[in-house]
Amino acid sequence: MRKNTSYIVILTCVLLVNSTCAVAEENFIGWLLDFGRTKEVRPIDNEQYQEECKDCHFAYQPGLLPARSWEKLLNTEALRDHFGDNAEIDEDTLRIIHDYAVANAADKSYYKRSRKITVTTPEYAEPLRITKLHYIERKHDEIPDKMIKDNKDVKSLSYCDNCHTQAEKGVYDNDTVSIPNYPDWDD
């Protein structure tokens, strides 16, 4: 019986250490005791970030890109040419948005989808487009063009919220997908 108990203790330790590695970016005890769902991407809880981004496009959650990508995207010079548009904002607002994005970036989050983005993005890579992330490309590679690019109500993968009905809450699972004009998209 004692032998069994020591086996259990050793195996439990191995399991817990293993899980720690999977959530190494965050406080392990905090993660362990948090019973809230952390399966998706952390929803935006900064009003200024939400409003500034939403003025022009869907407010992408910071957990969709690693911190190094947000560093490259959110500075005065980069915002002058923000994917072809001038998106310059005042210094104070930029600092708030930058700090929020970097603090909640994929590689600093213990939300599952953010962790998957971190695991599948090479450390040397600084992806600027969410749609070019290996994880995002892989998740969408089986969806034909007619449902996205050639679909007048979707147009591009960049419009996450056109198909992911709960994208604003950070939920991107298959159960909440509804592709316009293709109600039976997963058949």
Partner 1 sequence: MRLKFRFNNIAAILCLAAFSASAYAGEATLNLEFPSPAYTASSFSSNLQPFMLTLNEATTTGALSTSRKAEFEPPFFTGSNLHKYLGLGTVALAIATAVAPKPPEIEDRLPTPAEVSAQDSSTHAKLGRATAAMAAATVTSGLISHWDDFYLEDGIFDPDNLHALLGAAGSLAIMYAVSKAPGEGHAGKGIFGGIAMGVAVKLTW
Contact positions vs partner 1 (CB under 8 A): 1, 4-5, 7-8, 11-12, 15-16, 18-19, 21-22, 32, 35, 37-39, 112, 115-116, 119-120, 138, 152-153, 155, 161-162, 165-166, 173-176, 178, 180, 184, 186-187
Side-chain-side CA neighbours of residue 38 (13 Å): 18
95/149 with CB nearer partner 1: 149
CA contacts within 13 A on the Cβ side of 108: 14
**Closer residue to partner 1 in complex, CB, 3/91:** 3
In the complex with partner 1, the residue whose CB is nearer, 85 or 186, is: 186
Closer Cβ to partner 1, 56 or 103, answer by number: 56
- Work out how close the CB of 153 gets to partner 1 at its nearest, in angstroms, rounded to a whole number: 6
CB of 52 to partner 1, least distance (A): 18
Task: With both helix axes pointing from N to C terminus, report the angle between 91-103 and 47-54 in degrees, rounded to the nearest 10.
Answer: 110
What is the distance between the alpha carbons of residues 155 and 52, in angstroms, rounded to a whole number?
23
CB of 111 to partner 1, least distance (A): 10
Under 8 Å between Cβ of 168 and 39: no
CB atoms within 10 A of CB 162: 19
Q: Cβ of residue 64: shortest distance to partner 1, in angstroms?
A: 16
Closest by alpha carbon to 86, among 116, 113, 66, 56?
56
Q: How far is the CB of 16 from partner 1 (least distance, A)?
A: 7
Which of 89, 177 has the CB closer to partner 1? Answer: 177
Q: Do 100 and 67 meet the contact criterion of CB atoms below 8 Å apart? A: no
